[in-house]
Amino acid sequence: MMKEKTKDWYEIENVDQIDSPALIIYQERLKENIVSIVDVVGDVSRLRPHVKTHKSDEITRMMMEAGVQKFKCATISEAEMLGNCGVKDVLLAYQPTLIKAQRWITLIHRYKKTAFSCLVDNLDTVSQLSDAAVKNGMVISVYLDLDVGMHRTGLRPDELTVNLYKAINRFPGINLKGLHAYDGHINHPDIKVRKEWWEKAFKPVFALKQILINRGHKCLTLIAGGSPTFAFLTGQDNVECSPGTFVFWDHGYLQSIPEQKFRPAALVISRIISMPGDNLICLDLGYKSIASEKELNNRVFFLNAPQLKMIGHSEEHLVAEVPEGHHWKIGDVLYGLPFHICPTVALYENAVLIRDKKMISTLKITARNR
C-alpha cells in the first residue's frame, strides 16, 4: 500500500475554495510569533509593536490579550484602528503636517481613553502643533525623532539636539515625552557585524539621553529598534522596543536575521493561468498583489516551486521560467513567501485565515484605508 504524502505546513486542504491571488494568514503560527516576541523582550511593558505590518484590529486584539498595551503606527488610519481597539498608548511614528494635525486632534478627542503621541524634529512643526493644541484646549504629546542612519527624518543626536529638546519644552500645549530612533538600515545577516553597526549608531543616542537626564529631564523614554535590532535593546533602561515584521515574518528577514526564531505566518497564493512556452508559466500575481520595490527575483519566493526564475512582472501577471521536464499545469496553486511582507499586506482589503490547514474565515486589513 502506497504511503500518503505528508503535506507541507503551508498546504491548505480546501484551497480550491480560495480565489487567487490571496493573502493567507496561518493562525497557529501568528499566535506563536506573538508569544515569542513577548518572551524575547521579557517585560511586556517594554514592548511597543509596530502595526504597519498587519494593519488589523483582530491581530491587535490578539496582542492585547498577550498583555501588550502600547503600539506604534505609521498612518492616521492605523492610529484610528488602535483607538477603536481601546489601546492605552499609541505613537504615530510620523510628523503631522498642518492638515494631518487637524485629523490627529480629531482622533485625540474621539478616543479619550487612549494616550496619543507623535514625532517632531523641527520647531516649525512643534509651533504648529502648539498653536493647534492651545486653540483646542488640549495637550499634544510628542517624541523627538533622531536620525541614526536612515537619513529620511530626524536629527543627529548631538549638542544641537540638546538645545532643541530644551526649546520644545517651552511651547505651550506640548508634552515632550522622550526620544525616538528607527534603525531599519542595520540589517546585516551576521549578528556580530549587525551589533557592531548598532552600537556605533546608538552610542551618541545613549550619550544624548544621559545628557538630557543630567539636565533634569528624568522621565525620558527612548523608543527604538526594528526587527533586526530590537533584541539588543532589551537590556537598556527606559527603552521600548518597536519591531513589527515579527508578527508575520518574511523571506527577507529569514535570510538577513537567521538567529531569530519567528516563523513565516503569512503567504500569498497564486495560480498558473497560462503556459506561454515550454519552459514558461504565467501566474496571477501581478505587482498589484505582491510588494515590488525590490529587484524582480527578490519579490516572492515560492515554497513549493523554489526553482522558479522570474523573468517578467506587470500589473496582473508574473511570468517565470521553469526547468525542462517540469510537472506544472494550468490551475496549479503556488504558495509564495513575500520578501517584504509589510507593503504586500497593504495591497489586500482582506486576508484568508487558516487553522488546522483549512480556511476558517476572512480577516479584514482594517487600516489599509490610508
Give the least confident one: 117-121, 276-280, 356-360: 276-280
If one counts every other C-beta atom within 10 angstroms of the C-beta of residue 121, the result is 20
- Three cell numbers written together for 66: 498577550
CA 323/CA 144 separation, integer angstroms: 53
Question: What mean pLDDT comes out for the span 157-176?
Answer: 94
Q: Is the dihedral of CA 186, 26, 339, 350 positive or negative?
A: negative
Nearest to 112 by CA among 84, 154, 136, 92: 84
Q: Quick one: residue 357, left, alpha or beta (phi over 0 = left, psi -120 to 50 = alpha)?
A: left
Q: Is the dihedral of CA 198, 200, 203, 204 positive or negative?
A: negative
Residues 6+ apart with CB under 8 A from 121: 95, 144, 145, 153, 154, 155
Secondary structure of residue 367 in the 3-state scheme: helix
Domains belonging to the chain, first-starting first, are: 15-24+262-368 (2.40.37.20), 27-247 (3.20.20.10)
For residue range 317-332, what is the model confidence (pLDDT) as tens digits? 999 999 988 999 999 9
For residue range 50-65, what is the model confidence (pLDDT) as tens digits? 999 999 999 999 999 9
Pairing state of beta strands 140-147 and 174-182? Answer: parallel
CA 352/CA 361 separation, integer angstroms: 6
Q: Is the dihedral of CA 347, 152, 165, 127 positive or negative?
A: negative
Look at residue 370 in the predicted model and tell me its pLDDT: 65
H helix intervals, the chain:
27-41, 57-65, 76-84, 98-110, 123-135, 159-168, 191-214, 230-233, 251-256, 341-345
Q: Confidence class of residue 270 from pLDDT cuts 50, 70 and 90?
A: very high
Furthest C-alpha separation in the chain:
81
Look at residue 1 in the predicted model and tell me its pLDDT: 43
Using an 8 Å Cβ cutoff, are 354 and 12 in contact? yes
Q: Is the dihedral of CA 161, 236, 40, 89 positive or negative?
A: negative
Q: Confidence class of residue 132 from pLDDT cuts 50, 70 and 90?
A: very high
Using an 8 Å Cβ cutoff, are 12 and 225 in contact? no
Look at residue 219 in the predicted model and tell me its pLDDT: 79
Look at residue 216 in the predicted model and tell me its pLDDT: 87
